[in-house]
Amino acid sequence: MITLTEVIEVERPVEACFRYVSDFRTTVEWDATAVAAQKLSPGPVGKGSHFSVVCKAGPTELTLDYCITEFTPWQSVVLEGTSRFFHVKDVITFDPLSQGRTRITYVAEFRFRYGLDLLARNTEAGMQKMGRASLRGLARALADGNPAPSASADTEQKDRKLATALACFTRYGHRRGRRKWLPMSSDMAGKHVLLTGANAGLGFATAVSLLEAGATLTVVIRDPAKLDTMQQAFEAETGRRADRVELADLSLLGDVNKLCQKLHQQGAPIDVLINNAGALFNDYATTSEGLERSVSLLLLSPWRLTEQLLPLLRRSTSPARVINVVSGGMYTQKLRCDELIMPDNNYDGTVAYARAKRALTVLTELWAQQWAEDNIVMNSMHPGWADTPGVQNALPGFRRVTKKVLRTPDEGADTVIWLARATEADKLTGKLFLDREPRTTHLRTRTREDEGERARLLKWLNETYNALEIEA
Ligand SMILES: NC(=O)c1ccc[n+]([C@@H]2O[C@H](COP(=O)([O-])OP(=O)(O)OC[C@H]3O[C@@H](n4cnc5c(N)ncnc54)[C@H](OP(=O)(O)O)[C@@H]3O)[C@@H](O)[C@H]2O)c1
């Protein structure tokens, strides 16, 4: 048997350390050998949770199946891992120190199979070195001091050519990005997040991750019939339900207004607002308020919601974050305010969708400037191409052709979660992100809007809203 023992002290409360370390999916962020990790069992992390961790082992890779065998919140966690060659028992204990610091003691006992002990003893020095490197990695991850995000030279190069930029929208873009990601150990306990469109697709994946991270979550959905199923699914995945559910058809500005009134009455400051709800409508239709529904849901609605919630965002103690979910489709369109409402006789759902998302991207930039002094960080993100109910329903042909390269909803939602959670994600404002990096907002020079059109957008939104007949 070989035993490795390492001790680190970190400036993080014991709860945050325990939550981060006991979720073994995080090993890829700090373990010197882990290259991939996933949770295999459903439900919240606890006794009986299973993880698969792929580790580098010399020239080859080794898969370890881990199971949590003892789980005492904030005190200790024991994991037992098996691989082809050895069994390992990790005993991790957490001791609170003064001033919110924590001591983590990590003991790993390796027992080798097939009489490999002798061979293992020859590699013991190497294993000790790896153990020390892993715990240094864990200390770095928990120090949570990542620099402000920036685009790598390789990403900037990829965004210069349409084909390579589009390749980044696929699951391979996500995999490529993932290799460079820094640890995300920040805890969301005490943070209030308002998330729209939480019952399906990217919104559902975002809600699950934020509940796991301890956020106080208010979700907005439109269909009361989906409420129970959504809450049960949250509970099955995380052991928690959304703290509050509000019902609103966000394509109706009257509903948006009522929602805001209610949130103001409740009075809870909003730390993160995620404008995620959306749909691509292939057929032309207007809402009961008389507005074409794409522009209403995808542009007027997040504009009105965000502007009205400004007082609650201002009351966040750390910089509040607004995250607008846009789309790579917007790269095809140029902002022209007069073309945002498409007429029935010339309607193209994909174009209407892309124009609204382009406008929301520009609006994010305008808001970032306008609210720079308000302690509010505004960013947009696009998820690439992800296999969600939205894509399945609206773009069946596209899905058939691209199915093999589509991202999972978790992969599509990753940057939303990172923008909401990561400490460093509030160091930039007014940017468009994909895979945790700021990206260009134009792949073609012909889509660059002129200053006059940008300046018109807010006026256009106010005029369009004022012309509607909205129920008081
Ligand atoms: N998936 C992709 O590849 C992709 C690519 C680019 C951008 N996006 C954007 O990502 C966001 C999420 O899309 P998704 O793919 O996850 O779509 P999804 O699976 O269809 O989920 C959309 C969510 O928005 C809600 N929603 C739609 N219309 C609403 C309304 N009028 N009022 C309130 N909620 C409404 C839906 O509720 P119901 O279940 O009741 O309909 C659902 O919860 C959207 O903004 C979309 O434009 C997605």
What would the pLDDT profile of 130-155 be if each residue is shown by its tens digit?
999 999 999 999 999 999 999 999 99
- CA 136–ligand 1 middle distance (angstroms): 41
Listed by start position, the domains of the chain span 2-143, 153-466
**DSSP-assigned beta bridge partners for residue 321:** 272, 377
The percent of residues in the chain predicted with pLDDT above 90, rounded, is 92
CATH number of 153-466: 3.40.50.720
pLDDT attached to residue 204:
98
Which atom of ligand 1 is found nearest the CA of 250? 32
Residue 434: burial class (beta carbons within 10 Å; 0-12, 13-18, 19+): buried
Place of tokens 């993880």: 51
Report which of 185, 197, 138, 132 is spatially closest to residue 383, judged by C-alpha positions.
Answer: 197
pLDDT band at 117 (very low <50, low <70, confident <90, very high): confident
Q: Is the pLDDT of residue 116 over 90?
A: no
pLDDT attached to residue 84:
87
User: In this structure, which residue's CA is closest to atom 23 in ligand 1?
Assistant: 197
What would the pLDDT profile of 38-52 be if each residue is shown by its tens digit?
999 999 999 999 999
Helices (H), 179-252: 201-212, 227-238
Among 227, 259, 275, 276, residue to substitute to test ligand 1 (most atoms within 8 Å of Cβ): 276
The first and second tokens of residue 98, run together, are 């003064």
Q: Is the pLDDT of residue 461 over 80?
A: yes
Q: Which residues line ligand 1 (CB under 6 A)?
A: 197, 199-203, 222-223, 226, 249-251, 276-279, 297, 325, 327, 382-383, 385-386, 388-391, 412
**Is the model more confident about 179 or about 453?**
453
Residues 382, 159: Cα–Cα separation, whole Å? 14
Which atom of ligand 1 is found nearest the CA of 275? 45
Per-residue pLDDT averaged across 6-13, rounded?
A: 96
Residues 192, 87: Cα–Cα separation, whole Å? 42
pLDDT attached to residue 81:
97
Output the pTM of the full model: 0.95
What would the pLDDT profile of 206-223 be if each residue is shown by its tens digit?
999 999 999 999 999 999
Q: Is the pLDDT of residue 472 over 70?
A: no
pLDDT attached to residue 57:
82
User: In this structure, which residue's CA is closest to atom 18 in ligand 1?
Assistant: 390
The catalytic residue positions are: 353
Residues 85, 153: Cα–Cα separation, whole Å? 41
For residue 300, what are the CA distances in angstroms to 293, 421, 458?
A: 10, 26, 10
User: In this structure, which residue's CA is closest to atom 27 in ligand 1?
Assistant: 278
User: In this structure, which residue's CA is closest to atom 2 in ligand 1?
Assistant: 386
- Quickly count helices (H) and strands (E) in the chain: 17, 15
User: In this structure, which residue's CA is closest to atom 44 in ligand 1?
Assistant: 278
| Helices 409-421, 171-178: inter-axial angle, 10-degree rounding | 40
pLDDT attached to residue 181:
94
Tell me the CATH number of domain 2-143, given options 3.40.50.620, 1.20.1540.10, 3.30.530.20, 3.30.365.10.
3.30.530.20
Report the Cα 431 to chain-centroid distance in Å: 16
Q: Is the pLDDT of residue 233 over 80?
A: yes
pLDDT attached to residue 121:
74
Q: Is the pLDDT of residue 113 over 90?
A: no
- CA 467–ligand 1 middle distance (angstroms): 26
What average pLDDT does the structure give for the chain?
A: 95
